[in-house]
Structure 1
Amino acid sequence: MLISTNAIVISKLKYGDNDLIVKCYTQDYGTQSFLLRGVLKSKKGKVQAAYFQMLSQLQIVMDYKNNRSLQHIREVKLNHLYSSLHSNVVKSAVAMFLSEILSGALQEEEPNETLYSYIETTLLWFDSYTEYANFHLLFLLNLTKYLGFYPEVAHLEYEYFNLQDGKFELKAIDRHTISGDNVTVLKRLLETTFDILTEVKISSKQRQSFLNVLLLYYELHLGNFKKPKSLEILHQVFN
């Protein structure tokens, strides 16, 4: 059955000499993996390897079968042509990092149009802005809304946050409780939207510390989640 849907590239893996296995988050069918035969050899045809850069936003026509683990793409075209996301070194490092997060966190083969729209619109924001040092922090924090473990915002006046339970507390009662600068950054981001993100000032040290907190938060709430291999690269480009 031929299906047309929007898709965002979240991982790719070379398979053999000339093939690629690409994982996409699609608007209508959730997470889907595709086998692209001969795509690394052929310079002709409707499916080219250049389309499948990390976080590229595509419109694809796929030959869909619900009992097949690897689907086939018949046609592909860009939905959005990024102006800087793939050409700016720092943005490319962020894109690689976020694609790893999404690849690990998005497993369901079920549509979630609000989640798709969130990823689509925030990536367009990221592509268009020149001040983006805190983008990945707010992106990951807000993503937890759609994954089911967004922090409870009751008792924002409390000075401790329990990562295991996802709520603010009056005192530390769990080993996965944070305080100090990490709680200050968390509160600031909980009250921030992308429209005013450029006004949020966080030091490099605070940013790195809070990112590690976010990754632990993901590990505690997503069973098979692993720290991205590109984390070290991300730290290097921001330092």
Structure 2
Amino acid sequence: MVISTKAIVISKIKYGDSDLIVKCYTQELGMVSYMLKGVLKSKKGKVKTAYFQLLSQLDIETIHRANRSFQSIKDLRMNHMYVSLHTNVLKSTIVMFLAEVLSSCLIEEEKNRTLYNYIETAFLWLDQHDNLSNFHLLFLLKLSRYLGFYPDTTNIDFDFFNLIEGKFEDSETGLYTISGQNLVLLKRLLGINFDELNTIKLNSKQRQSFLKIMLLYFDLHLSGFKEPKSLQLFYQVFN
């Protein structure tokens, strides 16, 4: 069956000498893996390796066959040409890190247009703005809404947040409870959108501390979630 869909590149792996396996989160099919045969050596055809940079936004026409591990791409074009996402060193580091997080989170093969639209819009915003040092923190927090474990803000005035329960509490209830500076930052991020990121001022130690909390939060709520291999490089760049 031929299907046309938007797609965001999540990962790519070289297979053999000339093939490429690309994993995309698509608007119509959810997460799909594509086998691109001969693309690394071929200079002809419409499918070029340049299209498959991490988080590239594409329009693809795919020959989709149910129950196959790898699908094929019949035709494609860029849906959006990024201005700075792949050329700015800081932005490209964020792209590498968050693409790895998304690869670990988005494992189901079913469409979720609301989630797709969020990812699409968030990276269009990042491409167009330079206030980016805390982008990943807000991106992950907002992503949790679409994955089903966004913090319950009913008792947001309480002094503790239980990472396992995903809610604010009036007392410390165990190992996975946060308070103090990380709690203050959580409450601030819950009340803003990307355009308000310039109101958040953090040093590298504060930023790393909260990122560790967010990754733990994802690990507690997502089966099979893995700490990104690019985390240490990410810390170095944003130190």
Q: Using structure 2 for the length normalisation, give the TM-score.
A: 0.98
Which position in structure 1 is the counterpart of 2:110?
A: 110
SS at the partner of 1:79? strand
Question: Which stretches in structure 2 are left out of the alignment for 5+ residues?
Answer: none
Cα separation, 2, equivalents of 1:164 and 1:182? 16
Deviations 1:99-136 (A, max 9, x none): 01111100111111111110001100000001111111
Say yes or no: does 1:156 pair with 2:164. no
Which position in structure 1 is the counterpart of 2:169?
A: 169
Which position in structure 1 is the counterpart of 2:32?
A: 32
SS at the partner of 1:139? helix
SS at the partner of 2:8? strand
SS at the partner of 2:116? helix
Deviates more, 1:9-18 or 1:199-208: 199-208
Which position in structure 2 is the counterpart of 1:14?
A: 14
Deviations 1:166-212 (A, max 9, x none): 01111111111111111011001001111212222222211110000
For 2:142, the aligned partner's letter is N
For 2:225, the aligned partner's letter is F
Which position in structure 2 is the counterpart of 1:2?
A: 2
Cα separation, 2, equivalents of 1:198 and 1:14? 39
* Residues 29 and 111 in structure 1, CA contact (< 8 A), matched pair in contact too: yes
Which position in structure 2 is the counterpart of 1:96?
A: 96
How far did 1:3 drift? 1.1
Say yes or no: does 1:184 pair with 2:173. no
Cα separation, 2, equivalents of 1:17 and 1:172? 55
How far did 1:75 drift? 1.1
SS at the partner of 1:101? helix
Cα separation, 2, equivalents of 1:231 and 1:100? 10
Which position in structure 2 is the counterpart of 1:75?
A: 75
Please provide the CA RMSD for this pair: 0.8
Question: Which stretches in structure 1 are left out of the alignment for 5+ residues?
Answer: none
Matched positions, count:
239
Which position in structure 2 is the counterpart of 1:209?
A: 209
Cα separation, 2, equivalents of 1:202 and 1:15? 41
Cα separation, 2, equivalents of 1:19 and 1:90? 29
Cα separation, 1, equivalents of 2:82 and 2:199? 24
Deviations 1:11-32 (A, max 9, x none): 1111111111110000000000
Cα separation, 2, equivalents of 1:203 and 1:185? 12
Cα separation, 1, equivalents of 2:22 and 2:37? 11
What is the percentage of aligned positions where both structures have the same residue? Answer: 59
Which position in structure 2 is the counterpart of 1:50?
A: 50
Say yes or no: does 1:193 pair with 2:188. no
For 1:6, the aligned partner's letter is K
Q: Using structure 1 for the length normalisation, give the TM-score.
A: 0.98
* Residues 54 and 95 in structure 1, CA contact (< 8 A), matched pair in contact too: yes
For 2:134, the aligned partner's letter is N
Which position in structure 1 is the counterpart of 2:132?
A: 132
How far did 1:226 drift? 0.3
SS at the partner of 1:226? coil
